Structure 1
């Protein structure tokens, strides 16, 4: 069994030297020389990929565009035609789902050719145009915001900003990422134009961009940069895309104007300042930089995009190809202490794969698709519940956790939106055009119909469960070069054409074949087993078979995992996995603890608790730590079972969910997670769910903070006057406060408040409300 680092596997390939470690040189021409074939020319064949696509089709058709359009019509003074959906669609971010949905149905039309999806896209475009006409200025939006204790149309935020009133202390003028949401709608209109050939969609997109552009044009440079502190999606990409489609210089000027310098400048200089930053806020900015390079030739933008990709892939990504814990980047190459229930937000991989496509188009380096394949198979394909079509938000990589999924009508998280898109374009990166030739980058059962060239290719395979891929030229007017990607993980590929063995020494990661009508190619990609260690801990390892990350099956999601994190007993070298019955099924046999662990692909374990990373121990070390691990697991299970509610500070979604209000505070980066730091007689208040019986509030503070002065109140009653007295430590300081039962009885939730004395601060990581332990006699 081979031991490889991810850096080695992705950048050099396993034993075949597929790619250079150097970043690709910036192309002399802005436009990439490689392009993926349009979705309309690619069809999926019967397989797990087609099944996933069809599951998503059913979900898309179950949604009602009029319900997604509710706020748009209401804000424009028009009568809504459907009730608003629940979840985020009832919150200030409402409207983002419509943008994603418009993109998804446009993609699905291109991918399947089913007319209903095109009809729905056209209907939404018409409705957006009606809202723009009613507003009279190009605006159409679904966001809302509170003003004077009332919920009003979010357009007020843009008008305030245009007038120079900008407040980023709690969202953007108290709005929940309004420009982010606006971008989703703009991107949806652009997709409808490109994929459905709808000229009205371009007119809608121009109207949307014009309204937002006039807001930015009314601000000076400092004001623009202040606005950009708040998550704003891929607005640079959309402005650059409009320049490409219209040729109008204004859109290129706007794309350059809304580059977020705090992020772009360090990256362009080759500096990684990502620690502590919200991950998915940043990735779309760099997609925008890539598009800006393609449309405007901005070399700095290309440098920033390439360095960001290298940095995230090499220094911030987990074995499944995803990144972030609690939605944030941490210190580079420090991942072993950042394994939790909320690793790998799915939106991040959606956007990283978009960025990967841009960079691959510039250089054609196969290593980009080593990353694409890994993240697509192990992360993107893990997102959808195959039974219901619902989507995950996070992919938990800590041992003993299971994925959670959205509901059909009461979630509408960001990852629901990107999930709808992910499963509407499963065929978009299989085949790429390379001049007059074809590159095959993913081995998914599919058909390419290159109508202009009179070429038709078919892929048949059970990859990644089988290592054999069949490619047939079913139609061709003339000989064509077809280049097959040899994955970096494959050391000994073999190729046969019409049954005859061909040379398989890859050049730049590809084997190029000259094929004619009727030729049949058999590509064999043997999948060796290997381990991959954490970059900061060589004894915390994951197992892979070919492109697949393997995970231990720890039982059904509804059954808690009460044991310790699984470990591997390794007396001499890398421990072997033993194959068992079934494709990509293995066991650790006597090498695993607990014994009898079964491993299979992570992505397919939709309803199971899993273990992805394993601590590697010698027999002697295992004997010494076993008692402590067992005791720790028991204590962890006890506090988990008694927990009623928990909030982690400094994370956008938990703070929104708990209705957190801060009079003063900043976010900062600690050694373990992102924290909220309260400053200068500041205060924060948040809501927590309760349960019958006596409860305890547990608060986790920064261990380095001592001799402070603040009050902890519940429902307005002081439960602690905290000083954090004692010696400073480099670890966390956990305090517990038993609550009077009268404060919680009869309430479904309580308001917790921290009030700081003048010129005092304290860093708070987490608050947890749990049931007090039953007395034992």
Structure 2
């Protein structure tokens, strides 16, 4: 049975949580990234007018930044038409087409800076940039019907296929930074050209079969870019976290299209390792700045957490693809955890500032940079980075947030995510009305003409729920985390999930979190900030037995107030333990909203009394 993923273009968010995020992305974030890219020369690089000695020297990854931004525009204008942005993209497309080589090649760095070094440096992102351009081309054609960019990238893909698979004339075999593998599958799905799927599989099959050039700092440790073993034999998530997620997403794609059982089993193993051994409670992944990488099982430090925004986005992409391979709620659970926490924390509430790293603890007093200690993440979101991969990645994810909400498997419609929205795809004639993630009640109205099997995900955080259809208790069965029932035309189903505050503990081997808890409610992880709770947040003890007050908040959506205590301050450094405490009411805000006020401490994992 071939699953059908309902496209994000068919999901129309209303004025709920994600509708507001999409509107902010369309009106603030996309223009903000556009302005920063203009300032830094990323768009001008496509003029191919740079000469040695001038400012604005193109960088090896700039094309990928621009491509992701174009992809974000494509998704956004489907729901928020913007003729000016569309015209701007058209001009960029004209530049690319005008400067594309006769053989199909386009790369603004190599065509201007090192024209004689094409396909010589495996780690210089040529294939990575090409992949993102392919994704942009598919998205822009779907959004506008304009095929100029698509035709150009098909020519480029044909050229890459000839160089790497047919002639094997490049100086390396596989991409140093994976991405083109999943992009080729998207190009195949859109055009029907089998050659692109074949090339994607070729890159996967070839990876890890023989030594290839690595960065000097890795000292030839090929696990950094997941080329230490053939992909079907890999069991643990290793190396650069973004590279890993893009690779695993492509593996899932190819496994689905080719019915490759061995590749599917590898995807299952890797997903399990990521989500049960190497993922933060926020859905962040990649715990170390050294190589922006995974380390080892249960190594999840908080104040030096790297947890790159792009890595969390990559986890969402991987999880969505796993949901297309088999209906299991674990995949949508992981996507949800990342989306509401470790992804959104990468964007300011104002929509124009960004975090590359997303730590779970901040102390502004910690020295940063220089010789002191370069490991602690920054405490404030800047408007742009030198390596600005995350901002346009947020653009495209938010603009296409509806992707991954529904999957149709034969006569069964799976509801993976909950958001206030209307679906216009005839395969999923459904509306959702909900205040999720702040409330657990979701009203789903089926507007189809014939009976339908409806499978509603019961999130992993949910311990109690009721389900009714047309006001009567529904008859359903639980299948791999989904409540499955048959509904008639015009049915109104109400899923009401209890959403209490939960104190979450980490596995005993996560030593960093021993004796501490994370506070969650529904899909949201909460944190303490010094702006509300003063300094020395690590000393606050929440009273887990006390009632929690859930308050609506204009800025943060909802906040929690929990009775707590902390030790009284004293002179000196040490003293005999006295049990001298000061009472307070602790305020917790959603983790994704931290660092939007004054610079201050932040803490996710906190002490708690009366837990058991």
TM-score over 0.5 for the pair: yes
2:353 equivalent to 1:390: yes
Corresponding residue number in structure 2 for 1:124: 92
**Partners of 2:299 and 2:546 in 1: CA distance:** 27
Corresponding residue number in structure 1 for 2:293: 328
**Partners of 1:284 and 1:91 in 2: CA distance:** 21
Corresponding residue number in structure 2 for 1:598: 587
Corresponding residue number in structure 1 for 2:526: 550
CA drift of 1:421 comes to: 1.0
CA drift of 1:477 comes to: 2.5
The one of 208, 230, 234 aligned to 2:156: 208
Corresponding residue number in structure 2 for 1:70: 44
Corresponding residue number in structure 2 for 1:185: 133
Corresponding residue number in structure 2 for 1:258: 203
CA drift of 1:321 comes to: 1.0
Written as runs of structure 1 = structure 2, the 5 A alignment for 1:8-157 is 33-58=2-27, 59-61=29-31, 63=34, 68-74=42-48, 91-112=59-80, 119-132=87-100, 135-143=101-109, 152-157=112-117
The one of 418, 441, 449 aligned to 1:443: 418
Unmatched 5+ stretches in structure 1: 1-28, 78-82, 146-151, 620-777
Check 1:273–1:395 CA distance in 2 against 1; reply closer, same or farther (3 A cut): closer
Bigger drift between 605-614 and 313-322 goes to: 605-614
Number of matched residues? 542
CA drift of 1:328 comes to: 1.4
Corresponding residue number in structure 2 for 1:354: 317
CA drift of 1:590 comes to: 3.3
The one of 440, 444, 466 aligned to 2:439: 466
Does the Cα contact within 8 Å between 2:352 and 2:383 map onto a contact in 1? no
Give the structure, 1 or 2, with the largest relative contact order (CA under 8 Å, sep 6 or more): 2
Check 1:417–1:423 CA distance in 2 against 1; reply closer, same or farther (3 A cut): same
Does the Cα contact within 8 Å between 1:569 and 1:616 map onto a contact in 2? yes
Name the larger-Rg structure.
1
Does the Cα contact within 8 Å between 2:540 and 2:606 map onto a contact in 1? yes
**Partners of 2:358 and 2:186 in 1: CA distance:** 31
The one of 443, 447, 453 aligned to 1:481: 453
CA drift of 1:407 comes to: 1.5
CA drift of 1:120 comes to: 4.8
**Partners of 1:569 and 1:460 in 2: CA distance:** 34
Written as runs of structure 1 = structure 2, the 5 A alignment for 1:266-665 is 268-272=232-236, 274=238, 277-325=239-287, 326=289, 327-335=292-300, 338-400=301-363, 404-407=380-383, 413-450=388-425, 452=426, 456-473=429-446, 475-503=447-475, 506-535=478-507, 536=509, 537=511, 538-555=514-531, 563=536, 565-568=538-541, 575-576=544-545, 578-580=547-549, 582-583=551-552, 584-591=558-565, 596=584, 597-608=586-597, 609-615=601-607
SS at match of 1:555: helix
Report the TM-score, using the length of structure 1 for normalisation. 0.63
Check 1:222–1:108 CA distance in 2 against 1; reply closer, same or farther (3 A cut): closer
Check 1:291–1:194 CA distance in 2 against 1; reply closer, same or farther (3 A cut): farther
Deviation per residue, 1:455-475 (Å, 9 max, x gap): 7422121111112222233x3
Does the Cα contact within 8 Å between 1:576 and 1:588 map onto a contact in 2? no
Check 1:73–1:527 CA distance in 2 against 1; reply closer, same or farther (3 A cut): same
**Partners of 1:50 and 1:580 in 2: CA distance:** 27
**Partners of 1:201 and 1:582 in 2: CA distance:** 49
CA drift of 1:551 comes to: 1.0
CA drift of 1:44 comes to: 0.4
Corresponding residue number in structure 2 for 1:706: none
**Partners of 1:218 and 1:433 in 2: CA distance:** 37
Does the Cα contact within 8 Å between 1:40 and 1:112 map onto a contact in 2? no
Unmatched 5+ stretches in structure 2: 209-221, 365-377, 553-557, 569-582
CA drift of 1:244 comes to: 4.4
CA drift of 1:103 comes to: 1.0
Does the Cα contact within 8 Å between 2:419 and 2:436 map onto a contact in 1? yes
CA drift of 1:118 comes to: 5.1
Bigger drift between 209-218 and 489-498 goes to: 209-218
Deviation per residue, 1:29-81 (Å, 9 max, x gap): 7xxx333212222100112321211111123246379864321221699xxxx
SS at match of 2:267: helix
CA drift of 1:388 comes to: 3.7
Deviation per residue, 1:682-721 (Å, 9 max, x gap): xxxxxxxxxxxxxxxxxxxxxxxxxxxxxxxxxxxxxxxx
CA drift of 1:305 comes to: 2.4
Corresponding residue number in structure 2 for 1:675: none
Q: Which has the higher strand share?
A: 1
Report the TM-score, using the length of structure 2 for normalisation. 0.79
Written as runs of structure 1 = structure 2, the 5 A alignment for 1:213-224 is 213-217=161-165, 224=172
SS at match of 1:534: coil
SS at match of 2:299: coil
CA drift of 1:549 comes to: 1.0
**Partners of 2:470 and 2:237 in 1: CA distance:** 53
Check 1:153–1:217 CA distance in 2 against 1; reply closer, same or farther (3 A cut): farther
SS at match of 2:401: coil
The one of 109, 118, 121 aligned to 1:158: 118
**Partners of 1:120 and 1:515 in 2: CA distance:** 46
